Amino acid sequence: MEIIRDGFSVILDEPILYVDNKSRFRSGHMSHALAQYEKGKFIDFNSNCSALRWDGHSPYGWIEYRISEDAGKTYSDVFTLPYSIDSLNDGIYVISVEKAVAINGTIVAFCLRSPAYTYGCCSPLSTPTIVRSFDGGMTWTSAYELCERKGRVFDAIIRDSAIYALMSCGEEWAGKTSDDCFVLYKSIDNGESFQELSVLPIDFLNRGYGALIFDKKGDLHAYALNDQDVCNHDHTVSHDNGVTWDEPDTIFFKIGANNPQIALIDDVFIMHGRSSKCDGYVLYTSLDAVNWDNGTYIANKKGLCYYSNHLNLTEENGEEFLLLQYSEVYNDDETGIDVETLAKNIFAGKNVQQLSNARVNVMHRVLKIKR
Q: What is the pLDDT of residue 354?
A: 52
Q: Where are the alpha helices (DSSP H) in the chain?
A: 82-90, 339-347
Residue 176 burial (C-beta neighbours within 10 Å; 0-12, 13-18, 19+): middle
Count structural domains, the chain. Answer: 1
The pLDDT tens digits along the chain (371 residues) read 999 999 999 999 999 999 999 999 999 989 999 999 999 999 999 999 999 888 888 899 999 999 999 999 999 999 999 999 999 999 999 999 999 999 999 999 999 999 998 766 788 999 999 999 999 999 999 999 999 999 999 999 999 999 999 999 999 888 888 889 999 999 999 999 999 999 999 988 888 899 999 999 999 999 999 988 889 999 999 999 999 999 999 999 999 999 999 999 999 999 999 998 888 999 999 999 999 999 999 999 888 899 999 999 999 899 999 999 999 999 765 545 555 565 555 555 555 455 557 899 999 999 999 99
CATH code at position 271: 2.120.10.10
Is there a contact between 300 and 282 (Cβ–Cβ < 8 Å)?
no
Rounded to whole angstroms, the Cα distance separating 151 from 189 reads 22
Closest C-alpha among 278, 273, 277, 276 to residue 308: 273
pTM of the model: 0.94
Residue 10 φ/ψ, nearest 5 degrees:
-100, 125
According to DSSP, the residues that pair with 322 across neighbouring strands are 312, 367
Interacting residues of 9 by C-beta distance below 8 A, sequence separation 6+? 2, 3, 369, 370, 371
Average pLDDT taken over every residue of the chain = 92
Question: Residues, the chain, total?
Answer: 371
Q: What is the pLDDT of residue 298?
A: 98
Rounded to whole angstroms, the Cα distance separating 309 from 44 reads 10
According to DSSP, the residues that pair with 81 across neighbouring strands are none
Q: What is the pLDDT of residue 203?
A: 87
| Owning domain of residue 326 | 2-370
Is there a contact between 61 and 26 (Cβ–Cβ < 8 Å)?
yes
**Per-residue pLDDT tens over the stretch 29-77:** 899 999 999 999 999 999 999 998 888 888 999 999 999 999 999 999 9
